[in-house]
Amino acid sequence: MRLGVGFIGSGFNARFHMLGWKGVRDADILGVWSPNATNAASAARYARELDVGAAKAYKSITEMVADPAIDAIWINGPNQARIENVEEIVHAITSGKGTLKGIACEKPLGRNVAEAKHLLKLAEKAGILHGYLENQAFAPQITTGHNLLWKRGAATTGRPYLARAAEEHSGPHMPWFWNGALQGGGVLNDMMCHSALVVRQLLTPPGDSLSTLVPKRVTGHIASLKYTRKEYAAQLKKRMGVDYLKTPSEDFASVTIEFETPDGRIAIGEATTSWSFVGPGLRLSVELLGPEYSMKWNSLESGLDLFFSREVKGRAGEDLVEKQNAEVGQMPVVASEAVAYGYEAEDRHFVRAFLGKEPPILTWHDGLDVVRLLMAAYMSAEQGKTVQFPPRGVDTFVPAVAQGTWKPR
């Protein structure tokens, strides 16, 4: 049996999933809907060129859900469209226009807890399987290290106690990411979702639910290190149309999460993210430490480096690594990025889950948990102190950055 998949959104992330799809069996990308028909048609053509399905553009989400060829939807629209996208899917199902086996949604599930809870309720109302798309949880270096470390190290000398994760690059590619109200925050909302989940995953035995590790205390920190400097704010205004001197968002965030393990011990997750990192390109890094073992991964230590002398006049591009910052000198290359960052294994898993071959490893419950942790981190950062988890009021909290009232100093 094969799964016919429809995509909502035709941008950067949708195309990353399409690339990863080359390593996915038993499923075809058959549709794309995006508000701009030309972009939808272009993404559908890209899927056909990659030979990952006979994708065509649909005129509406409802039309895509109603097509019996479509069994599942992958949501890759911008954060601010999440609710309207899911409402339309669920309405198409509950009004009898179509049926689906599953619905997979990109991070963040919602821009705050109230939105994430609403989305989870909608999925439950539709009565279909839901998957939370967190690619880094499926990155081969992370899953392989995680499995081996627990199997050999933790099994004989005790569970790990400290996990670190970081995601850093020089800033997002589209204006809406820089708009706190649209996106839901700054880099904390955009990228800490990955790192906060990965540290919890690494500290949890492979195969166990992340909920077995209970967050107890959260300490968050946010700052604007680069883009509120006058020259960079001006650059951003020109490139992205946002006024960072009036409505800034954070380009640096860190969080320390103290978890309680099922045997009553403390384990610590440290995560840091930034849009103010200038290096060759996107850098993902991870460490896991236990009593007699450790693990480390840095995506820019890729094993492949190219060198171009100053005589090489290259055009700006992202052909060596995502969010590439240079075209000359020594540059690491991440070969098969869609594999390295986890998209391929993630999509393979959710296809199998929606075909009923295995339970989804991450659901919208996990997506909601992540949002609650992020909002606790914002609350801690705003209050300048560690908060007990869950902090009072977290379910109705909207970060100052998202309200346009944040003052970096």
Ligand X SMILES: NC(=O)c1ccc[n+]([C@@H]2O[C@H](COP(=O)([O-])OP(=O)(O)OC[C@H]3O[C@@H](n4cnc5c(N)ncnc54)[C@H](O)[C@@H]3O)[C@@H](O)[C@H]2O)c1
Q: Report the interface residues with ligand X, using CB under 6 A.
A: 8-14, 34-36, 39, 76-79, 81, 85, 106-107, 135, 174
CB of 10 to ligand X, least distance (A): 4
CB of 388 to ligand X, least distance (A): 29
CB of 222 to ligand X, least distance (A): 18
Residue whose CB is less far from ligand X, 150 or 341? 341
- Which residue is at the shortest CB distance from ligand X? 11
The answer to whether 259 and 200 are in contact (CB under 8 A) is yes
In single-letter form, the type of residue at position 212 comes to T
CB of 341 to ligand X, least distance (A): 7
CA–CA gap between residue 269 and residue 199 (Å, rounded): 5
In single-letter form, the type of residue at position 266 comes to I
CB of 224 to ligand X, least distance (A): 20
Residue whose CB is less far from ligand X, 30 or 154? 30
Helix, strand, coil shares, percent, the chain, to 5 = 40, 20, 40
CA–CA gap between residue 61 and residue 79 (Å, rounded): 16
The answer to whether 275 and 187 are in contact (CB under 8 A) is yes
Tokens of residue 361, six digits:
């490893």
Residue whose CB is less far from ligand X, 32 or 387? 32
Residue whose CB is less far from ligand X, 178 or 406? 178
In single-letter form, the type of residue at position 249 comes to S
CB of 231 to ligand X, least distance (A): 26
CB of 36 to ligand X, least distance (A): 5
CA–CA gap between residue 152 and residue 166 (Å, rounded): 25
Letter string b/e over residues 317-328, b meaning 16 or more CB atoms within 10 A of that residue's CB: eeebbbbbbeee
Residue whose CB is less far from ligand X, 159 or 349? 349
- 127: nearest Cα among 151, 170, 96: 96
The 3-state DSSP class for residue 73 equals strand
CB of 9 to ligand X, least distance (A): 4
Residue whose CB is less far from ligand X, 182 or 289? 182
Tokens of residue 324, six digits:
């590439």
Residue whose CB is less far from ligand X, 287 or 322? 322
DSSP code of residue 140: H
CB of 350 to ligand X, least distance (A): 13
Whole-Å CA distances, 370 to 65, 182, 290, 378: 28, 19, 24, 13
CA–CA gap between residue 102 and residue 90 (Å, rounded): 11
CA–CA gap between residue 277 and residue 268 (Å, rounded): 24
The 3-state DSSP class for residue 247 equals coil
CB of 181 to ligand X, least distance (A): 15
Residue whose CB is less far from ligand X, 138 or 150? 138
CA–CA gap between residue 365 and residue 298 (Å, rounded): 29
Residue whose CB is less far from ligand X, 106 or 344? 106
CA–CA gap between residue 9 and residue 41 (Å, rounded): 11
Residues 6+ apart with CB under 8 A from 231: none
Residue whose CB is less far from ligand X, 60 or 383? 60
Tokens of residue 381, six digits:
């950062």
CA–CA gap between residue 259 and residue 263 (Å, rounded): 11
